[in-house]
Amino acid sequence: MTWKPHVTVAAVIEKNKRFLLVEETTSQGLAFNQPAGHLEAGENLLDAVKREVFEETAWLFEPQALVAIQLWRKTPDFPSFLRFCFCGEVHSHHPQQKLDDGIIQTHWLSHADIIARSRQLRSPLVLESIDQFLQGQRYPLSILHSFLDCV
């Protein structure tokens, strides 16, 4: 059997010292997460994170930097996730846009609010990514290269 991690993207979005999180239903109940999701076939990482942010928050997102590349597994029996976490800005909110299935609502939360909800975070990567962002961890998008459908 071939092992392969799930490739996902996520976005740290900060505005006025508040971070955009989604409240979503999971098999363990309600959880808070960054806008995030799986890379789809034929999609590059930047298009994936833009799509996921829009589908989950109804905001258009412009990635500005890569915050972290994270490999995470909850337990040895749990799937592994290779997560590319970006930061950037949102603009052009579309409040009439239906959010992805499972998304209850979006929240702009302070760092203290997020820490207070730490037991409700979808994974430890949510707070870890925000802390890395607050520490100034940024990598230029120019380190990413896509070679899709190239001969």
> Domain coordinates of the chain in residue numbers?
6-143
Write out pLDDT tens, residues 28-84: 899 999 999 999 999 999 999 999 999 999 999 999 999 999 999 988 888 999 999
Write out pLDDT tens, residues 87-138: 999 999 999 999 999 999 999 999 999 999 999 999 999 999 999 999 999 9
CA distance 54 to 44: 16
Per CATH, the number for 6-143 is: 3.90.79.10
pTM for the model stands at 0.94
CA distance 116 to 54: 26
Written as six digits, the tokens of 114 are 């997020």
- Residue 148: per-residue pLDDT: 86
